[in-house]
Structure 1
Amino acid sequence: MNCALILLLRLDFLWMWAIVGVAGGLLLFVRGFKILQRKRLILNTPISKIRSASLGLVEVSGLATGPYLIEAPLTGKACYFYRTIAWELRKASRNQQWRKVADESLHVPFYIDDNTGLLLVNPQGAETDLHRDFRGEYSNSFFSPEQMPGRVREFLQRYGITGEHRVRVEEYAIKSQNALFILGTLAENPGLEVGPEPLPTQAAARGWKLTSEALDSAAAKLMPNMGAHGGCEQEVIHLSGRGRPLHSAEMTQQGKIAAALLRAGSGNPRAWAAAGLDHDSPAVAIEGQPEPALLSARRGAGAGPAANNFDLHPKVVLLKGENTPAFFISWRSQRRVASSLGARAIACIWGGPALTLLSVYVLLARLEWL
């Protein structure tokens, strides 16, 4: 009886997977042609020299550069753009699957240099194919420093990840002098200014992004009796730099809040004011760094080449266009990007129908029509 029930359940699951296979095969087939269309767009758009590039859809290649840098949370490397993602291994039905629990991406506007000129790039809304600088998997031993680096632990703590499940983290970044291939729209500058303030690259799903409103609310809850400008004498809060981070028990309440705001890269004055800290005064000191570097340390990782070597208010910017939304940044060359897209397109165009036919065969056999 039990064997018959198990067999029946397996047959029912086979029926369901066959239906999913039919739909999935059709979707893969359609997706294959979309990928092929993107490949043709890349090959049909000639690579332009920055000095002679005209407004509209362009392709440029060169080295990333810029006057301001930010710090990637996991590697600590200075960069212009980073994306850090975390997954947890969760049990779903009878299987286990990776569930995304954090997706953080910040950037500062940067330039691309091809030896004929400099072109400002606004990576907002770009599809990226970047080199992976960090990848790690950790078991549910969250407080074990031997297995989990301190930077990884701090990043996960920001998102309330307790380490009860197995965790996987990855980080991608655009660093100084990285070779880039970019397909995007060259347009008149809509008012973009180059500055040291890190900007969120994309709106993450709810629960993943530390918004300014969330920081304001958290700071207000932690400091309920302190006014906007603080109700007590302002203290200098020392946060560890590259050395051992301070344990929470060794930090004051203001120190804990300042640490959270700093690690989140928040330069929002309202969040600092709600915590009773002056946004622009040197109330937060980072061990191993001089006082004049405090604002730079809070807003980014410092400066690259001298700012006077760049036009901070250029007339044109490479960005995601309104009429032509194609915007792609890759660490691979045009030829390698096109080759990769071609292979994916072939796999989808041929694999999709094969999956559909196999699933239809299973359905017909299940209905005993064969």
Structure 2
Amino acid sequence: MNNTHFSHAGRSFNLIRYPANHQHKSLQAWDSADELIMSHCDDTLLDDVRLMIFNDDFGALGCWYAHNQPVWISDSWIAHRSLEENLNANGLTCETGDENRVTAPVTALTSVDKLPGVPTTVIMKIPRTLALLEQQLSDLRDCVDANTQIVAAGKVKAVTKSVLALFEKYLGPTTTSLAKKKSRLIFCTPSTPLPKVQASAFPTRWSAKLATGQTISVVNHANVFSRQSLDIGARFMLEHMRVENTDSVIDLGCGNGILGLNALSMAPECRVTFVDESFMALASARQNVSDNFPDQLSQCRFEPSNCLEALLHQPDAQAYTKVLCNPPFHQQNTITDHIAWQMFHDSRELLVTGGHLIVVANRHLDYHVKLKRLFGGVKVLASQQKFVILSAAKR
């Protein structure tokens, strides 16, 4: 049975990790860092607090502080969906806007939105990506003042010297609490004036060569995998892709969109849908199409989604012929294969008969077995010491 009942300081919530039907029974939607934040901040928050919450993995903090009507910032589509479901499930009926984001009682923003107003308190979970933390601290410089209280938390192993140095570099004096339940708090007080720093290092920009020989300029926002060069798996996939002008392609878990960009270079008339659960990834992919293939931008769509869920629920779904995928094997800080498994299921459901799911992955993950079980057959398109490219056809 899934662990969804959260009780702390006399209050109780039912909290899920979205999507609930794929939540592993050993995983829960909160951790000891959330509890540390609650224990500390509940004693210090004023009724008229202007609260910002960053990187709330599955909406536990958003639910806990919903009565404060916080501004809530996350780069994760899954976190946004978790927040909405958990608010509704706990009688905190929420409203959503045109972009399917929560607007009340919590104002949910993405990591590419401009931060509003001056908060009196900032609560932050330390993100897995140090670059995302750096970008968020840089963004906070534009809206905090000397009276803003900043409280961050993370597992002890995440509260490193590098993390503390970033708080001091961008905002000011920083201290930590003692460890409790393997988590630790960070306290930061903005200096007056703020420390002098250079302009944000993000997004980064670098050059890559596609399979056609075309050299493109690649933009990467802070929370996008492989920010400074092509990762080995993607480079291997580029060498073995085959795309026709008649194809309708999905770049699933697109990151900066390199696989979709390669498809546009190989088959200028193909249609490409870029899908990722990171808003920074989609912003990077859109910018990269706009910069390198401006005439083909109208052939492209950019969809925030948990795997292919958003496309499966659209009444006007295209006839997709290829899904290109380099599946992740972690969610937040948890190693898991349930995301890849859902990607494979969704691809099989969405593809036209005769369409192909093409996966590049580390050999040790043994996706060959999973794809054979699901599709009834799988071909090895290419292999090397570390990676393998697999193709499964919908029959």
Same fold (TM over 0.5): no
Larger Rg, first or second structure (1 or 2):
1
Instruction: Using structure 1 for the length normalisation, give the TM-score.
Output: 0.21
Q: Which has the higher contact order (CA 8 A, sep 6+)?
A: 1
TM-score (norm 2): 0.20
